[in-house]
A and B are shown apart, each in its own frame.
Chain A
Amino acid sequence: MKQVNQEDWLDQQLREAAPYIDDEGFTARVLQQLPPPRRGTDFLRAAILLGMTFIASVLAYVVSGGGRFVSVTIERLAALPALWVFVLALASGLVVAAVGATAAISKGWVLET
């Protein structure tokens, strides 16, 4: 019993020896040293991606002879049987839905953890 009392007493003394330390500007000092928020770099990344996409599109248009391949592809699609067009549309829809569901699940996981 004496042993238990001694341990309780020691634990109590140890807990009491750790008083609350006032912030006194500590948090502000830490926040000052944080790297700038990602928002700026995200915007820059999006701008670069959009710019690259635009340039690539213009290049593809010029190289393909004024986008002739688009009209050719549309003509080919129009010549396909209706069932094939339906299957293609369904497959595209499923792919887009799968990508969306994956993105939603991963975002939910991040929020959960």
Chain B
Amino acid sequence: MELTDADLVARVLVNDDQHAFGELVRRHQSPVRGLLRQLTRTDVALADDLAQQTFLRAYKNIRSFRGEARFSTWLYRIAYNCFREDARRRKELVGIDEEQLQTQHDPQVASPGLRHDLMRALSLLPLNERSAVLLCCQNGLSHDEAARVLDIPLGTVKTNVLRGREKLKRMLADWGPN
């Protein structure tokens, strides 16, 4: 029988079992690295560095995980904090404004593919909308869980998701269903 995340966390807490923690890393590395790649605008090396920091921080602070949220939600929150701290250091927290967004989007330019355009459209969203859309629409978190991860009010998450989706739909209008 496969152990649940809670079982593995208990093993880490009680026996300092690093094999159990390794299993947790194996299970969650893909979504955490994926989220960080999107947040860093597909800077793979930076995203992986931040993902390593995320898991190391999770290991050191695993006693603060109370099991009130899913383990993945707790990890996303640490990942997002790592990203924000790094972004603050790099002074990249400022999103791209509407004007810049519109000038960069040119429907006449031939697109190499939907996936490429979607990634590009995502990277053009301001950070608050991008992170809300990624957590709720891509990673399947509820608005409430995303509010915990991003440490912002529930209403703000809903607004950011709505605005982000509207912008994405506008930017991908040529690809969408008729």
Q: Do A21 and B137 form a contact, CB below 8 Å, given A30-B25, A30-B56, A110-B14?
A: no
Q: Are A111 and B177 closer than 8 Å at their CB atoms? A: no
Whether the pair B133, A14 counts as a contact (CB closer than 8 A) is yes
* B126 close to chain A: CB less than 8 A: no
Taking CB atoms, residues of chain A closer than 8 Å to B13 are: 110
Q: How far is the CA of A37 from the CA of B29 in the complex (A)?
A: 22
Contact segment of B47-55, B87-95, B104-112, B146-154:
B47-55
A26 contacts B48, C-beta separation under 8 Å: yes
- Which residues of chain B are within 8 angstroms of A23 by Cβ–Cβ distance? 26, 29-30
Give the interface segment out of A1-9, A49-57, A63-71, A74-82. A1-9
**B residues 25-41 with Cβ under 8 Å of A?**
25-26, 29-31, 33-34, 37-38
| Number of A-B contacts defined by CB within 8 Å | 91
Chain A positions within 8 Å of B55 at CB level: 30
Q: CB within 8 Å of A: which of B120-178?
A: 122, 133-134, 137-140, 165, 168-169, 172, 176-177
Beyond A23-B30, A38-B16, 20 additional pairs, beta carbon < 8 A: A6-B176, A7-B165, A10-B137, A10-B172, A13-B114, A14-B134, A15-B137, A16-B115, A17-B118, A17-B138, A18-B38, A18-B138, A21-B30, A21-B37, A23-B29, A30-B52, A31-B21, A31-B25, A110-B14, A113-B65
12 residue pairs from A and B, CB less than 8 Å apart: A10-B165, A10-B168, A14-B134, A16-B115, A17-B122, A21-B34, A26-B33, A31-B21, A34-B18, A34-B21, A38-B16, A112-B67
Interface residues of B (CB under 8 A from A): 6, 10, 13-14, 16, 18, 21-22, 25-26, 29-31, 33-34, 37-38, 48, 51-52, 55-56, 59-60, 65-67, 114-115, 118-119, 122, 133-134, 137-140, 165, 168-169, 172, 176-177
